[in-house]
């Protein structure tokens, strides 16, 4: 087996999604911490690895892959002893892919990053109300996806759960998840957090992000 190196920062939800996949597969790897706040991703050395200068970035035998969704799918396809986390069945895979695209385009970009980028880039602590509404819409979709199912893409744990658990719990810093209104989400979060590898792969990084975000005295506009 070739040597795997994951470049990332613990607080990053996408990095933790990749780490959850690696942990679920039981794959040994080297983890290299990258300080994104210090703009280490913009160094010439890192840009040669990933010209988009994003984390996570995976190195596999001299080849570089970035985007957590691509990394997770690649890892299961190449190293998984089964296809459970990313099914080969086309219909099942289509559902997983849909959830991954939903996480990437709706949850992360339209939800989380649209709030955090102004916070970090310009200290904008008054968050437009439409961002609150967008998060509520995301919660409503996730609650529906989970109706009658234990996991986000059906009754089996997949890489879609790893992607969404990291971003949804980050959104919860800004908009609480009502345990009554969102009983399915609440139960699903607990289910994922009880995975034997969750704490090491994701728990500490999730708490680090919560601590970082709560330093901003943010409010939503009315």
Q: List, by residue number, the catalytic residues.
A: 12
- DSSP-derived secondary structure for 61-81: TTEEEESHHHHHHHHHHHH-S
With a CB cutoff of 8 Å and minimum separation 6, the contacts of 43 are none
CB count within 10 Å of CB 131 equals 19
Q: What six digits make up the tokens of 20?
A: 């959850």
6 backbone dihedrals φ, ψ, rounded to 5°? -110, 125
Query: Prior bond to 72 cis, omega within 30?
Result: no
CB count within 10 Å of CB 79 equals 16
Q: What six digits make up the tokens of 149?
A: 């199912």
Residues recorded for the chain = 222
Q: What six digits make up the tokens of 110?
A: 């339209």
Which has the closest alpha carbon to 85: 131, 151, 33?
151
Which has the closest alpha carbon to 129: 2, 28, 220?
220
Cα separation, 210 vs 156, whole angstroms: 28
């Amino acid at each position: 087996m070739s040597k795997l190196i994951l470049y990332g920062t613990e607080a990053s939800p996408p990095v933790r999604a990749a780490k959850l996949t690696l942990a679920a597969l039981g794959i040994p790897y080297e983890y290299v911490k990258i300080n994104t706040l210090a703009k280490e991703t913009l160094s010439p050395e890192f840009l040669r690895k990933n010209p988009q200068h994003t984390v996570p970035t995976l190195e596999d035998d001299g080849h570089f892959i970035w985007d957590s969704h691509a990394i997770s799918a690649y890892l299961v396809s190449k190293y998984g002893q089964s296809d459970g986390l990313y099914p080969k069945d086309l219909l099942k895979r289509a559902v997983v892919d849909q959830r991954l695209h939903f996480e990437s385009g709706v949850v992360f970009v339209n939800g989380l990053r649209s709030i955090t980028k102004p916070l970090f880039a310009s200290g904008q602590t008054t968050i437009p109300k439409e961002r609150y509404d967008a998060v509520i819409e995301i919660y409503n979709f996730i609650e529906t996806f989970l109706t009658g199912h234990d996991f986000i893409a059906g009754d089996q744990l997949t890489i879609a759960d790893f992607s969404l658990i990291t971003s949804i719990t980050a959104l919860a810093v800004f908009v609480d998840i009502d345990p009554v209104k969102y009983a399915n989400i609440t139960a699903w979060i607990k289910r994922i957090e009880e995975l034997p590898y969750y704490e090491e792969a994701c728990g500490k990084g999730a708490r680090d992000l919560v601590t970082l975000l709560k330093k901003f005295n943010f409010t939503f506009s009315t």
